[in-house]
Amino acid sequence: MIKSNLRWDLNENDGVVEVSLAGDLDSTNALDFLNQLRNYMKNSINKLVFLVEGLEYISSEGIKALFYAGEEAEVDAKIVLNNNDNFISDLIKETGLDDLFIIERRTK
């Protein structure tokens, strides 16, 4: 059995759902993460924001989970990176998903 080190926290305020992610989001946990997130998306939301500053690694399967969450919620999905998240930013661009997300960079 593979043990996942993914940690996530969800906060909802006035229809804006912020999901803070830490650890690794990859093929070993992306589907489980998406399934758990679906429970929170049953309510009407206006915006879905992924705070990925705590991620150490994300695979293309992890990116797809973020994309599917936005698609299923039928809202714009935003990924918030800090200025050091070049790996995540590059992966989003390489997979061609940079047009599907609003990418915001924050300084710590």
**Could you read off the pLDDT of 14-59 as tens digits, one per residue?**
888 889 999 999 999 999 999 988 887 777 788 888 888 888 888 8
- Selection from 108, 60, 57, 49 nearest residue 84 by Cα: 108
> What is the Cβ-side half-sphere exposure of residue 43, based on CA atoms within 13 angstroms?
11
Whole-number pLDDT of residue 25: 93
Average pLDDT, the chain: 81
Alpha helices in the chain (DSSP H): 30-40, 60-73, 86-94
Token look-up 């998406």 returns: 34
% residues pLDDT > 70 (the chain): 86
Distance CA 107, CA 101 (A): 19
Distance CA 76, CA 2 (A): 32
What residue spans define the domains of the chain? 7-106
Look at domain 7-106 and name its CATH class: alpha beta
* Residue 3 binned pLDDT confidence (cut-offs 50, 70, 90): low
Given a cut of 70, whether residue 108 has pLDDT beyond it is no
* Residue 1 binned pLDDT confidence (cut-offs 50, 70, 90): very low
* Residue 82 binned pLDDT confidence (cut-offs 50, 70, 90): low
Neighbours of 40 (CB within 10 A): 15
8, 30 in Cβ contact below 8 A?
no
